[in-house]
Each structure stands twice: as structure tokens, then as C-alpha cells.
Amino acid sequence: MYLNRRSGFTLIELLVVIAIIAILAAILFPVFARARENARKASCLSNMKQIAQAAHMYLQDYDEVFPGRSLPGGSPVPANAQWWTDLFLPYTKNTQVYYCPTRGNSYWGYGYNTVHLGTGVTLASIEKVADLVVIADDDSNYRTLYCPQCSALSDWNKMPDDRHSGMVNCAFADGHAKSMKKSVLYNNGNHSPYFNGK
């Protein structure tokens, strides 16, 4: 007896398969995006660690005196000035560490604690060296990081940027680096301890 066997799928079966694939994609894409951002955050934190160590080595070579965001300093920065990225380059030996993977290579990814670590500030004058942020993620292309209430409202784009799933990567004066919540860094608009080391 000959049995007529179907070959292929019915339209309903095909639609069910497509719906299942769409549901799985909707579930997995955010997971992949988070995993990708976590990888970028880890890479950025590695950059920060290298910058923190570079800053620490710079201090050891220059009588524990911070360079400020540039040498010579000033606002605006003089055309012939060397930015902190140039001053730390002999220690990092790699310009790529100055670009956050999340922001890409089109913008400087990090800013220097300009207001509290100007040219000539000594490490000895800092009360809480392990708490003092030297460099952090910022949301500008100025290589400058302003603290809460340090500057005009127009400079809010130069504040720390919590682009890594609500976290800011920071390099500290004692040579370590870690991620922090922006609200912790702001400390209710207080400069202490993360911006002034007190």
C-alpha cells in the first residue's frame, strides 16, 4: 500500500520556527551586547591601570610633582604645550591606551583631574593618595576632567562619564585603577575625597 508522505513544512510550521528564532534572538542579543560591553569595560580598565602606573612612574621621576593637564599649563592650553598624554607616553609606550574601547579611536577617552591636580601640586600634599582620582572616563574630547561644582554648567560634558554599564573607570594617584559608580565619585557634589584627596 502506497503512503503519501509529506515533504517540506506547512506554512504554520514555518511561522512557528521563525517565531521561535525571533524570540531566541530577542533574548540573546541583549546578553551579547552586555557581554561585549563587559569586555570593553575590562579593556578600558586595563588602559586605566597602565595610565595609573604611568602617572605613578612620572611622579617618581619628577620629584613627586604632578604635571597638570599640560606643561606649560594654562587655560586655554598653550599651542606648544605637552599634554599629560604626551608626558605619560614614555611610560605607557602606547598611544592606544588613551582611547576607551567603548568610545573608539575618534575621541580621547580619558580626562585629567585638572582643578585639583594642577601643575606643581606635590604628592606629599595629598592626604588620601589612594582615593585621589588622577584620570577618569570623561565625556569630552578635551583630555580634561572637571569635578562637581568646579566649573560652569556648560562644562558638565567634561564630568566623569559612566559609560560602562553605569560605572566610571578611574586611575588613582597611588598607581591602582578601579571602576566606581558616578554617584560615589560625586559624593553629593563634594570634592572630597576623590577629586581633592582630602
**Angle at the Cα of 87 (from 104 to 98), degrees rounded to 5?**
10
What is the predicted pLDDT for the residue at 158? Answer: 60
What is the predicted pLDDT for the residue at 183? Answer: 86
User: What is the Cα–Cα distance from 155 to 159, expressed in whole angstroms?
Assistant: 7
Are 166 and 39 in contact by the 8 Å Cβ rule? The answer is: no
Compute the half-sphere exposure of residue 174: CA atoms within 13 Å on the CB side of its CA: 11
Tens digits of residue pLDDT in 37-96? 788 899 999 999 999 999 999 999 999 999 999 999 888 888 999 999 999 999 999 999
Cell numbers for 80, please give them: 606648544
User: What is the Cα–Cα distance from 134 to 194, expressed in whole angstroms?
Assistant: 9
Q: Calculate the alpha carbon distances from 56 to 6, 28, 47, 74 in Å.
A: 74, 42, 14, 23
- Residue 115 binned pLDDT confidence (cut-offs 50, 70, 90): confident
Domain definitions of the chain by residue range: 11-186
Decide which of 111 and 15 is more confident.
111
CA 61 centroid distance within chain? 26
How far separated are the first and last CA of the chain, in Å rounded? 93
Q: pTM surpassing 0.85?
A: no
What is the predicted pLDDT for the residue at 58? Answer: 95
Average pLDDT, the chain: 86
- Residue 153 binned pLDDT confidence (cut-offs 50, 70, 90): very low
The conformational region for residue 104 under phi > 0 = left, psi -120 to 50 = alpha, else beta, is left
What is the predicted pLDDT for the residue at 173? Answer: 93
Phi, psi of 39, deg, nearest 5: -65, -40
- Residue 156 binned pLDDT confidence (cut-offs 50, 70, 90): low
Q: In the predicted model, is pLDDT for residue 126 greater than 90?
A: yes
User: What is the Cα–Cα distance from 188 to 126, expressed in whole angstroms?
Assistant: 21
User: What is the Cα–Cα distance from 52 to 140, expressed in whole angstroms?
Assistant: 20
What is the predicted pLDDT for the residue at 27? Answer: 80
Q: Which amino acid is at 142?
A: Y
What is the predicted pLDDT for the residue at 5? Answer: 58
What is the predicted pLDDT for the residue at 16? Answer: 84
Tens digits of residue pLDDT in 5-48? 556 668 888 888 888 888 887 787 776 767 787 888 999 999 99
Residue among 38, 41, 35 at smallest CA distance from 161: 41
